[in-house]
């Protein structure tokens, strides 16, 4: 049974940093395309960053240069380092995993079959 568990969310002031983690069980980050999504109240879930089996990454324009996705396959943990946070980054953040390797259409939520429960990030101005 696959389980993804996020942690690391919290409240910070604008300009601050947070690092989110997503520990997996029953699932291998070394084999599949995985991603971070976020959803603010009243908004659709949006893709933030992806990393494929080989370690290639992609980022949404809104976070490029500020966020970094990475993974530690030995620990089976996915990370999202978030720097220079803005109030508009406030959202519930989710890690997500596919059941296959390619990362085409990386920000289509429907391509991901495994989801964590989410961790809240709140950025105040």
Per-residue confidence (pLDDT) for residue 121, from 0 to 100: 98
Instruction: State the chain's mean pLDDT as an integer.
Output: 96
Per-residue confidence (pLDDT) for residue 13, from 0 to 100: 98
Q: What is the pLDDT of residues 21-50, one digit of tens each?
A: 999 999 999 999 999 999 999 999 999 999
- The answer to whether residues 93 and 6 touch, using CB atoms and an 8 Å cutoff, is yes
Per-residue confidence (pLDDT) for residue 101, from 0 to 100: 85
DSSP 64: T
Per-residue confidence (pLDDT) for residue 39, from 0 to 100: 98
Residues of the chain with pLDDT under 70: none
Count the helix, strand and coil residues of the chain and give each as a percent rounded to the nearest 5: 5, 45, 50
């Amino acid at each position: 049974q696959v389980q993804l568990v996020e942690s690391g969310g919290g409240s910070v002031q604008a300009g601050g940093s947070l690092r989110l983690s997503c520990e997996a069980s029953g699932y291998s980050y070394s084999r599949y395309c995985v991603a971070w999504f976020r959803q603010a109240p009243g908004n659709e879930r949006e893709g933030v960053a992806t990393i494929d089996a080989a370690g290639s990454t992609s980022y949404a324009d809104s976070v490029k240069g500020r966020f970094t996705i990475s993974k530690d396959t030995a620990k089976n943990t996915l990370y999202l380092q978030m720097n220079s946070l803005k109030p508009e980054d406030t959202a519930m953040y989710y890690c997500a995993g596919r059941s296959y390797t390619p990362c085409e259409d990386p920000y289509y939520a429907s391509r991901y079959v495994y989801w964590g429960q989410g961790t809240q990030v709140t950025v105040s101005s």
